[in-house]
Structure 1
Amino acid sequence: MTNLEESLSRELLRTNRSGAYSCSTIVDCNTRKYHGLFVVPVPELDDENYVLLSSMDVTVIQHGAEFNLGLHKYQGNNYSPKGHKYIREFDCDKVPTTLYRVGGVLLKKEVVFQHHEDRLLIRYTLVDAHSATTVRFKPFLAFRSVRQFTHENGTASREYHLVDNGIKTRMYAGYPELYMQFSKKNEFVFSPDWYRGVEYPKEQERGYASNEDLYVPGYFEMNIKKGESIVFAASTSEIKSSGLKKLFDKEVDTRSPRDNFFHCLVNAAHQFHNSKGDGEDYLLAGYPWFKCRARDTFISLPGLTLSIGEQDYFEEVMKTAEKGLREFMEGKPLSVKIYEMEHPDVPLWAIWAVQQYAKTAGEAACMEKYGRLVADIVNFVIEGGHPNMRLDENGLVYSDGRHKAVTWMNSSVNGNPVVPRTGYIVEFNALWFNALKFAAKLAAIAGNEETATALETRAELCKSSFVSTFLNDYGYLFDYVDGNMMDWSVRPNMIFAVALDYSPLSQDQKKGVLDVCTRELLTPKGLRSLSPKSGGYNPMYVGSQIQRDYAYHQGTAWPWLGGFYMEACLKLYKRTRLSFIERQMVGYEDEMTLNCIGTIPELSDGNPPFRARGAMSFAMNVAEILRTLDLLEKYTYIK
């Protein structure tokens, strides 16, 4: 904790499961513009998150001597006030807990975000002290979008109003009021000032502007006795301060432990929950900058819910997503807040998610609940309803991705896709074959034999064309084929043709594809997005925005792809690959303490040491690792 080289790379994320979050490094030094003690959506402004309270410096005062426990980085690599040197212990098994020692004073800090409320709670406990002790709390305010910076200005309002054991303030019109309250009577000293030149090194690394000024309206001060606890609340609404201690205890009781790999992943899965008060439930694609995206939702959904026994939440999210899907298929404007619903493979991933539901709930129950949706999606494709996915006479689906990225490999530079995958795209057609076979099975369960037979006939045509179109003489699959243009790059998208429940490939063909993926794409952090032997290999996700966009899918490693790779291994080799897959999981377990504590980052460099990059927590990665653990358990106990 006292070694900043070690501690500043480790982040901590708390969420309220409704879109708000609190995030910083484990020493409470913000290193990204996305970091903040209290970050909330402000739907009245737009659909971004806003940093209201950037941080809170705590000062311990004894015998007139002040010891500031805060930490900020300023220009010129200067850190002040260096409060990290007082940290003696840090623990986040249940709730993040930091123990500070200042001489004979031991102060414990515990943090929780109230579920489904925009309210952060921090409990400060004076564990030990040999003389009278005073604590001072200094809030650093930003009132800005997570994508912007704030700077000293004359427009910011200095006005504040006293509320129950605290104050409320709002720097700019249009923002919500920020309520800062304590469980104990205190004195607020109005002493407005700007702290200038706060620097965020993660933004420097990413080639962005990295400096801002933060506004401090003053400070709260109160005495604290040995053994006493004081609870602080930051919120967008007032609360009765006398109930803060009980509320904190209640929130702690609902937290599950992070005492092993699986429990960390379950906690991470819950952080992606985004439940709105109007009955709509979503899954965020990741933190800190992702919204709810359609493809990510359907790929993540089974792992984040079914794999941990939460079928109810699967159904809630699917209810919201199905509404959006149907609105899209009917040509209506979307009433749900799910982005990128127009991408061609989204309906096919929706069928894959339903297929996973059938394994948990049973095929009959699945038919009853989602049979109509699956049938409607398949008919939507057959009838040419999708604006960018046509079904050709050879049984394959065709999409135009020359001028706009339409697959998960979606990085663009100057509006043009870095990887312009177009035509017959390998995973689109693997998903289409799988969808046809699954739809045929559901139709048969429903007693619609004629429909089932027609779908099976389409599937056979798709299978024949798939093999003749994608399988090359070297035993792997072209990434996409467009007329005479065949992409020979060795990419991980062919793994879906092996991993899906219904594959157009023979056993030998599957083994050939899996062997190539193992030799050229497998890393301890998932599958590379491009083989080192292919042209344009660029495995290091570093530098400016353009440099990173060019590297994003040109060799970086993605854990969620590793999930499908391991599923393919189990399907082909059954129990003989169990120990191999268990060893692969160790590479992910390391991530629990290396980057954002207890979760999995977006991607890693494709070359050793496979350093984590991108977003601090990524839903598809967490989901596929959970689904792999679930598969491992099933294959371990299979007879």
Structure 2
Amino acid sequence: MKFDKKTLSDFDQSLRLEWLETNGIGGYASGTVSGANSRKYHGLLVSAQHPPVGRVVALSKLEETLVVKGPGNTEERFELGANQYPGAVHPKGFQYLKNFERQLFPVFTYEAGGVEIRKTIAAVHGENTTLVIYEVIRARRPFTLELLPLSSCRDFHSLTFANDAIGTQYIFDEGIFRTLNYLTCPEIFIAVPGSSFTENQTWYRNFEYAVEQERGLDYREDLYTLGNFSVTLKKGDTLGVIISTDDPTGKDAAKLFARETKRREGLVGKFSSNENLKRLALAADQFIVKRGALSTVLAGYPWFADWGRDTMIALPGLCLVTGRFDEAKKILLQFAGIVSEGMLPNRFSDRDEPPEYNTIDATLWFFQAIYHYYNSTTDKAFLKKILPILEDIMMWHEKGTRYNIKADEADGLLSGGQEGVQLTWMDAKVADWVVTPRRGKAVEINALWYNAHCIMNFLLTESGKADLGKPYAVKAAKVKEQFNILFWNEDQQALFDYITETEKNSALRPNQVFAISLPFPLLTKERAKKVLATISSHLLTPRGLRSLSPTDSEYKPVYMGNLWYRDGAYHQGTVWSFLLGPYIDAVMYVKEDKGKAEATRLLLKFFHHLDEACIGSVSEIFDGEAPHTPRGCIAQAWGVAEVLRVAVKHDLVL
């Protein structure tokens, strides 16, 4: 988690290293180790105006300059920031970066002009507040620290350009600055104790965001400042800056930081002896956020909101193995309260619009999450409350619900699909193009459907209603029998990906892994061994499983370019980190205790990723071919959760 000066002073390398701080209500702070923002989503304070959504880049940057007295009372200026402009990088403060590390917080240590200063960035849990703590480690004499706030104050999906509508009024009183850039944005407060403020209203133009350019999106922006702060510091001084959408009057940065430090130390207590699991436990905390009186899971940073599928897959790893049972229950109750026609929502909008229900598997993953929650807690009161909802869901799936989702009366398998609608997790869609429609009976959907029946039998028996559970056991047996008849692909020693009335799709995809990784496997050990061998041969990489075999003519090895190309590659060869979890479950099912060594090797190799991309977290996806460059979201809930879950579940020595 520490990086040497050679790496840090190389702009191309330090620009690729990102950090993330989150506040538990959907807001965050994020940037690159170089100091230059490479995404429009980066910002020192990205506030959630309608937690956990409605995110606004309230303050983009806080540029630091050391003003040091030299010989003959001359002044030397050392700018610690960095920005990318057309054809230039200025300033180049990364050259003064002596060290960067990520423990509980991202910490930067700069050395310039005889001054060594350490900067720590922390998001405060439960509020739209970012702390920046400066500690003067060494200084020959007193010096001045200048801080220049640069703001865009816009929706985090957008960009800002110089305009005359931005607010030019501000108040600065006793070290606290406040302004309102636009009526549609939150008021911004910046507290710099002991500082003075010099007005200098200026637009800084043509900041370039390299990752947005790579993604084929608009990538230039103008940022605005009303002036800069100045404060005199000396060796041993600590300066705590508070940046917030709430008035910080009466608040002390040191106390807020101490409180947040204690909270995070409590999160990692049970993992303190294992550095890798400790890092994952800290990363897991970033996705658990408030939605009203209950909780939910943000699928990924920086741009995802909460998704039903991602939440249910991630819940065991985020909440159960970390001992956060109350939050797990709040998440399950949050989604239970919005079940509609037997379906969980697919996703929530970033603008607080009604949820969308275009998913066939989120609801089935709900059963998995409940099953794991109950096994972790034996919470009978929760079971009594949730079982009627689960029974209603099963009824809807038997008789039919949205998008032709319905159990086939002949074989008991679950089918679904509608022209122009993507229902499985392979859900890429550009305009009217559904890249992988997978209509009909999908392999992982029916693995989940079988498990839902087994789970209903188990939970009803646990609640003293074994007689009501028996019909689910009978249907489960039928599904298992028909699944093995219809999905087995003898030629490939694998499972078909999906089945329709006219087609058995033989594309080699990772979806079949769920038939041997879920709590109730569908295949015998003999068949499971063959499926695992096929997956290992075609799909396994050090970063997860490919979404399509390289032998397929539709295989896309690199996830780059404009939206059409990226979404065309999203599930056509791109590697997904979360699939490492079910793969390891499958290894342990097939090889039992003999699989521990293999699973351990896989995870130890995977942990190298924690020191690339978003440091300490897990990227959403990777290129299909070596070096498997990280892509997509910089921090993904189910990627973090699944790696943490299987490490703890299988008691792997890491």
Q: Does 1:192 align with 2:210?
A: no
Q: Is the 8 A contact 1:165 1:241 kept in 2?
A: no
1:422, CA displacement in angstroms?
A: 0.5
Comparing 194-203 with 370-379, greater Cα deviation is found at 370-379
2:377 maps to which residue?
A: 361
- After TM superposition, the structure 1 stretch with the greater mean CA deviation from structure 2, 267-276 or 375-384, is 375-384
Distance 2:454 2:262 in 1: 46
What does 1:95-134 correspond to in 2, within 5 Å? Answer: 95-134=105-144
Contact 2:85 2:206 in 1 (8 A): yes
Give unmatched runs, 5+ long, in structure 1.
Answer: none
The alpha-carbon distance between structure 1 residues 249 and 446, as it changes in their structure 2 partners (threshold 3 A), is closer
How far did residue 572 of structure 1 move?
1.9
**Gaps in structure 2 of 5+ consecutive residues:** 1-7, 70-74
Q: Is the 8 A contact 1:595 1:612 kept in 2?
A: yes
Counterpart Cα distance in 1 of 2:253 and 2:453: 55
**Which one of the candidate residues 35, 50, 66 is aligned to 1:60?**
66
Alpha-carbon displacement from aligned partner over 1:4-54 (angstroms, at most 9, x marks no partner)? 12211100000101111000001221011111111112239x943111111
1:347-496 equivalences under 5 Å are 347-362=363-378, 367-368=383-384, 370-393=386-409, 394-474=411-491, 475-496=493-514
Letter in 2 for 1:195: Y
2:96 matched residue in structure 1:
86
Alignment counterpart, residue 83 of structure 2, candidates 47, 67, 72: 72
Asked whether 1:221 is paired with 2:236, we answer: no
Report which stretch shifted further, 126-135 or 18-27: 126-135
Letter in 1 for 2:275: N
Q: How far off its partner does 1:398 sit?
A: 1.0
- The residue type paired with residue 20 of structure 2 is L
Tell me how far 1:337 sits from its aligned partner.
7.6
| d(CA) in 1 for partners of 2:34, 2:348 | 42
Deviation, 1:366, is 6.5
Deviates most, 427-436 or 359-368: 359-368
Partner Cα separation in structure 2 for residue 109 and residue 427 of structure 1? 47
Q: Give the distance between the partners of 1:492 and 1:25, measured in 2 at CA.
A: 33
1:615 and 2:633 equivalent? yes
**Helix, strand or coil at the partner of 2:50:** coil
SS in 2 for 1:60: strand
Tell me what 1:280 maps to. 294
Asked whether the equivalents of residues 170 and 180 of structure 2 are also in contact (C-alpha less than 8 Å), the reply is yes
3-state DSSP of counterpart to 1:204: helix
Aligned with residue 315 of structure 1, among 312, 316, 329 = 329
Match of 1:297 among 311, 316, 329: 311
Q: Is the 8 A contact 1:265 1:598 kept in 2?
A: yes
> What residue number does 1:306 align with?
320
| 1:11–1:25 CA contact under 8 A, matched in 2 | yes
Shift of 1:403: 1.7
**How far apart in 1 are the matches of 2:287 and 2:518?**
25
Equivalence for 2:72: none
1:254 deviation in Å?
Answer: 2.8
TM-superposed deviation, 1:369? 5.2
Aligned pair partner of 1:43 in 47, 50, 53: 50
Measured after TM superposition, the shift of residue 374 of structure 1 is: 2.8
User: 1:636/1:170 Cα in 2 relative to 1: closer, same or farther (>3 Å)?
Assistant: closer
Percent identity, aligned pairs only? 32
Q: Please give the alpha-carbon distance, in whole angstroms, between the structure 1 residues aligned to 2:282 and 2:418.
A: 37
Retained in 1: the 8 A contact 2:348–2:356? no
d(CA) in 1 for partners of 2:628, 2:511: 20
Q: Map 1:151-170 to 2 at 5 A.
A: 151-170=161-180
Distance, in Å, in 1 between the alignment partners of 2:500 and 2:86 is 52
The structural deviation recorded for 1:334 is 9.5
1: distance between equivalents of 2:474 and 2:81? 68
Question: Deviation at 1:557?
Answer: 1.0
Checking the alignment, whether the CA contact within 8 Å between 2:78 and 2:113 is kept in structure 1 is no
Across the two proteins, how many residue pairs are aligned to each other? 631
How far apart are residue 240 of structure 1 and its match? 2.4
Q: TM-score, normalised to structure 1's length?
A: 0.94
Corresponding residue for residue 30 of structure 1: 37
Equivalent residues in 2 for 1:591-602, closer than 5 Å: 591-602=609-620
Deviation at 1:294, TM superposition (A): 0.7
**TM-score, normalisation: structure 2:** 0.92
Q: Is the 8 A contact 2:342 2:393 kept in 1?
A: no
* Matched-pair contact (CA < 8 Å) for 1:39–1:53: yes
User: Residue 4 of structure 2 aligns with which residue?
Assistant: none
* 1:173 alignment counterpart: 183
C-alpha separation in 1, matches of 2:603 and 2:384? 36
Amino acid at match of 1:553: H
- Structure 2 counterpart of 1:32, one-letter code: R
| SS class of match (1:212) | strand
Q: Letter of the aligned partner of 1:254 in structure 2?
A: R
Distance 1:587 1:330, change over 3 A: closer
